[in-house]
Amino acid sequence: MRRIAVINQKGGVGKTTTTINIAAGLARKGKKVLILDLDPQANVSSCFLAHNDRSMYHFLIDEEPLQNCKVNLAEFLDMIPADQSLAKAELALAGVPSRETVLRRRMAEVTGYDYIIVDCPPSLGLLNQNALMFAREAFIPVATEYLSLDALRKMSATIDEINQLFQHKLKITAIIPTMYDRRIKSSIATLDEIKKGYDGVVMPPISTSSKLKEAPSKGMTIYDFARSSKGAKDYLAVVDKVIEAEFYYG
């Protein structure tokens, strides 16, 4: 079972879109996927129109059973959704022993999934620490623009610090270039820089796409909204690469 945190401390890089469409793409390939929405903004939950009376807060803090908290989104695809109550979790976690590993302990006996994908908040608080301490892999979406390079370096350094501080072994196994536009020189140059710095883990780029922006507002994945679009094809190319890597990380 692969445990993946989708994370970038910089906003506006397509993190939510990436979480949604990688998870849904894997499910379409027959992989059993559980999404954990650990972002108090609950964007992934909103995009899937996912709601449950028992949410991520109740699972994490109140120790509600998984079965009470998860919702089924599609064949092979489940989620523990977030709602506004998750904003209180940081304070609740502060007084818990080994507070950075609460999620790992809560998930210790969860089985039956090929992938557990965590959508992380952009700030590095206790929720993010829990996500990183639970995950074995980090997927980092990066917009192909100059300022995103610095954010990528900082995110990589943060993961190194977490690993060193807690003797953890989280690996960056996928960097996903987003909002790529081959017509713009700076976009091409940024992609080249990403490849130079992180050879071997850079995924095929996700082209800038109006369809990708529209799909969440309809409560749909890109595959349901515009299955023949460039955005759908780009994300499926990434999904295929993720599946190919199961030999190494599965």
For residue 52, what pLDDT is reported? 83
Residue 134 structure tokens: 């639970």
Residue 86 structure tokens: 């998750």
Residue 174 structure tokens: 């996928």
Q: What does the alpha-carbon distance between residue 227 and residue 101 come to, in Å, rounded to a whole number?
A: 39
Domain 2-249 superfamily per CATH = P-loop containing nucleotide triphosphate hydrolases (3.40.50.300)
Give residue-wise pLDDT tens across range 20-63: 999 999 999 999 999 999 999 999 999 888 788 899 999 999 99
Residue 107 to residues 63, 72, 114, 248, Cα–Cα distance (Å): 11, 18, 14, 22
Residue 101 structure tokens: 């590993």
Per residue of the chain (250 residues), what is the pLDDT tens digit? 999 999 998 888 889 999 999 999 999 999 999 999 999 999 999 988 878 889 999 999 999 999 999 999 999 999 999 998 999 999 999 989 999 999 999 999 999 999 999 999 988 899 999 999 999 999 999 999 988 999 999 999 999 999 999 999 999 999 999 999 999 999 999 999 999 999 899 999 999 999 999 998 888 999 999 999 999 999 999 999 999 999 888 7
Residue 24 structure tokens: 């849904």
For residue 48, what pLDDT is reported? 87
Give residue-wise pLDDT tens across range 119-149: 999 888 999 999 999 999 999 999 999 889 9
What residue ranges do the domains of the chain occupy?
2-249
Amino acid 172 reads I
The DSSP code for 191 is H
